Amino acid sequence: MSVRVRFAPSPTGALHIGGVRTALYNYLYAKKNKGKFLLRIEDTDQNRWVQGAEEYIIESLRWCGIEPEEGLGYGGNYGPYRQSERKALYYKYAHHLVQSGKAYYAFDTEEELEVMRSRLSDAGVAAPKYDASVRMEMKNSLSQDADYTASWINSGQGYVIRLKVDSGNTISYVDLVREEVKFASEELDDKVLIKADGMPTYHMANVIDDHLMEITHVIRGEEWLSSTAHHLLLYQAFEWQPPLFVHLPLILKPDGKGKLSKRDGAKFGFPVFPLAWAGQTEEDSFTGFREYGLEPEALINFLAFLGWNPGTEQEIFTLDQLVIAFDFDKVHKGGARFDIDKALWFNQQYIKQIPGDQIAQRLKPIIESNGWDYNPESCLAIIQLYLERVHKINEIPVQAYYLFTELSTYDQEAFKKHWKPELKVKFETLLADISSISSFDAQELESVLKEHLKVIGLKPGEVFPIFRLALSGSLHGPTIFQMLNILGKKGLERLHAQLKIMLDGL
């Protein structure tokens, strides 16, 4: 059977970056094996459904370059691909399990369930659950006779369908990342398969859909590992061949302490979603990596290494190269720490490969939105000057703003530290001497300016920091010759005007 994998998110809001990594690994495995990668929306929990989330998921995958070939929004022969549209199907299969003795109807109210849990807790049970040890004491079709069961169901009162988990068994399987995994059936509860509202639980819908859609490999996060035992029991109850399972390592917080959550973006100062998400409140609204300034290719390259390593020194991979190199044998068991500095390093490698004219076109709306004049020639020069100094394209107009417009501020403390009042006359002589410069080639400027310094009796260390502050407001960044190369005559005028401002501020 050809490989068929799925990405099956719930439409409950923005797509977490961990979900993108799961989608990526599914995509890579499908492409490597010439299989199919499909998108299924798992919306069985209607209380958590959020408008716009489905569209967000599709747009995110499209922006990342890992679009499915089949599924919601893409079509296919195994639909519908939204679980809420398959409701009748799940009940049919659940009823079959009841008829075969693998599942049962349960009529317990929430109050009765809480009484059971409290009783078990008082008896010293650490994790009270509805299982083989209590089911005959509860109100269900196993503990009640057929007449009671039929009467309850016919009355229209609420009920659920539970999986019947027998005790004394070991459930085991071989995970493609974690090797052999075993569960004791005593650790499992009689999981609800169909809820009181008639909707299936994740476990029921997941197994039925994966079987009917002929999924060969279930590739998902480590947090679903504990659910696998129930899923395997369902496959066994239906007498179906289960798919192969792959449980990916968690993406951890930057400090390595716990799973990276959607709230960690604000805490650590970086996004945890691919695209910006506008929620109902400010607290539920988040920026995304697209708006943050990461290139999608860089984000994908970075995410690929969060839990996988090719075993070589190579770090920069195109998507096609990742397809060739990817293998579950090289996926780690342990969690992967989210390192934003590494993500920015990847981004820097990618933006350096983008042609300058393309970067200039992307910067044009930013430049114009600030009210600055857009000059293609000077913009290209600024890009060339700053591309090695930034990690994101959108940092260029922030760091190099003084090359696009007038200087708005300067480091006053740095000026006080480097300014020597006794050199004021020599500075005035120097500024007068260089005011006639006509060539602004950086190398020529350096040669001419240093010659003037010798004649006047000034040292570079006495002049260059002051000129830097006057031109850019900071001691950091390109050389003063590179700045003047772009600013031209305006740069010389700025030196005169800004030095006066700085002296007046002493």
Residues with catalytic annotation? 262
User: Which residues have CB under 8 Å from 425's CB, separation 6+?
Assistant: none
Give the single-character DSSP code of 32.
H
Alpha carbon distances (Å) from 503 to 68, 420, 430: 63, 11, 16
Q: d(Cα 124, Cα 304) in Å, to the nearest integer?
A: 45
| Number of residues that make up the chain | 506
Question: For the chain, how big is the Rg over CA atoms in Å?
Answer: 32
User: Which residues have CB under 8 Å from 13's CB, separation 6+?
Assistant: 50, 53, 262, 277, 279, 284
Helix, strand or coil, per DSSP, at residue 435: coil
Which region, left, alpha or beta, applies to residue 56 given φ > 0 means left and ψ of -120 to 50 means alpha?
alpha
Are the beta carbons of 480 and 464 closer than 8 angstroms?
A: yes
Alpha carbon distances (Å) from 76 to 3, 8, 81: 15, 15, 9
- Count CB neighbours of 237 within 10 A: 20
- Count CB neighbours of 181 within 10 A: 18
SS3 labels along 159-206: CEEEECCCCCCEEEEEECCCEEEEEEHHHCCCCEEECCCCCECHHHHH
Q: d(Cα 52, Cα 277) in Å, to the nearest integer?
A: 10
The dihedrals phi and psi of 152, each to the nearest 5 degrees, come to: -65, -50
Alpha carbon distances (Å) from 403 to 69, 356, 367, 411: 46, 17, 11, 17
Q: What is the residue-wise DSSP string for 339-406?
A: -HHHHHHHHHHHHTTS-HHHHHHHHHHHHHHTT----HHHHHHHHHHHTTT-SSGGGHHHHTHHHHS-
- Count CB neighbours of 159 within 10 A: 21
Q: d(Cα 391, Cα 486) in Å, to the nearest integer?
A: 22
Q: d(Cα 432, Cα 419) in Å, to the nearest integer?
A: 19
Q: Encode burial over 449-473: b for 16+ CB neighbours within 10 A, e otherwise.
A: beebbeeeebeeebbbbbbbbbbbb
